[in-house]
């Protein structure tokens, strides 16, 4: 149940599941939320692989900056696209990491990466549009596609390597408007190679597809190099990159 302030301080409660829309009842996220509500005991020191919750805490400089902002009274509505100074700093940081220059105007601050994914998919997918999703994947992508009225088109990544199958992806391209890449991949942990990203870009360019590159985990890669899709493929008709700290648009 969800409580909210009611008349004369009473609580108005809404029972989850009552008056549920037909589209929300089909979402896999509902199953995940029900599972998370079950009580469980996790032994201390356990490294969990059941959800994207890193074991480390928010860095001290970020916590200090947030605390200082609250103390300074920065608690009111901001620019709809995010604080201009923050957007500029993020653009500089992304440019530094990717090797390609980005402007403040190409960055939008969202309510977490999930909010960024929702904004990107709901803003680009029309009813009936196909969206290519390499599988296995987080159920969130397909859920958002269905909410937008689109159709998930799953491109299987065969075990045990779970590498992206660009031939399977190309076979779906004529029915699609958007390709979703999770890089590094949740849940497999796969990091795409330069050649794989080049081939995905060629498919997108050939079929005039948009690309949504979810790079929320790019700070927890333990290999020498990670190639960023947005840094190399300016020929794609449109790219939206979602990270834990940035929603970035490339046109």
- Residue 71 resides in a domain: no
Same domain assignment for residues 112 and 217: yes
Q: Are 202 and 234 in contact (CB under 8 A)?
A: no
pLDDT at 54: 72
Whether residues 219 and 143 fall in one domain: yes
Give 3's strand partners. Answer: 13
Query: In terms of domains, do 145 and 230 share one?
Result: yes
Q: Is the pTM of this model over 0.85?
A: no
Summarised one tens digit per residue, pLDDT across range 191-238 is: 888 899 999 999 999 999 999 999 888 877 776 566 666 545 554 556
State the DSSP code for 174.
G
Print burial letters for 164-192: b (CB count within 10 Å at least 16), e (below 16).
Answer: bbbebbbebbeebbbbbbbbbbbebebbb
Domain membership of residue 121 (yes or no) is: yes
Asked if residue 165 belongs to a domain, the reply is yes
CA distance 124 to 149: 11
**Domain for residue 246, yes or no?**
yes
Count structural domains, the chain.
2
Domain that holds residue 152: 84-250
The two tokens of residue 31 are 């199953």
Write out pLDDT tens, residues 11-67: 344 445 556 666 666 666 555 555 555 556 778 877 777 676 777 788 899 899 999
Give yes or no: residues 6 and 92 share one domain.
no
Residue 40 lies in a domain: no
Q: Is residue 243 part of a domain?
A: yes
Secondary structure element (H or E) that encloses residue 87, with its range: helix 84-98
């Amino acid at each position: 149940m969800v409580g909210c302030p009611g008349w004369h301080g009473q609580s108005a409660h809404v029972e989850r599941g009552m008056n549920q829309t037909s589209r929300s009842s089909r979402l896999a996220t509902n199953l995940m939320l029900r599972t998370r509500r079950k009580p469980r005991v996790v032994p201390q020191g356990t490294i969990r692989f059941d959800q994207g919750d890193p074991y480390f805490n928010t860095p001290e400089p970020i916590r200090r900056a947030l605390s200082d902002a609250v103390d300074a009274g920065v608690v009111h509505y901001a620019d709809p696209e995010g604080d201009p100074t923050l957007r500029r700093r993020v653009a500089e940081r992304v440019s530094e990491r990717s090797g390609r220059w980005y402007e403040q105007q190409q960055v939008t601050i969202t309510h977490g990466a999930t909010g960024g994914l929702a904004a990107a998919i709901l803003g680009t997918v029309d009813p009936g549009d196909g969206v290519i999703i390499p599988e296995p994947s987080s159920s969130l992508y397909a859920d958002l596609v269905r909410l937008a009225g689109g159709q998930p088109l799953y491109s299987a990544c065969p075990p045990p390597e779970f590498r992206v199958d660009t031939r399977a992806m190309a076979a779906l391209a004529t029915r699609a408007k958007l390709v979703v890449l999770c890089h590094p991949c949740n849940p497999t942990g796969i990091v795409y190679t330069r050649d794989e990203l080049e081939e995905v870009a060629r498919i997108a360019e050939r079929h005039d597809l948009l690309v949504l590159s979810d790079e929320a985990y790019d700070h927890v890669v333990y290999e020498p190099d990670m190639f960023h899709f947005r840094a190399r493929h300016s020929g794609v008709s449109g790219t939206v990159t979602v990270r834990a700290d940035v929603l970035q648009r490339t046109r």
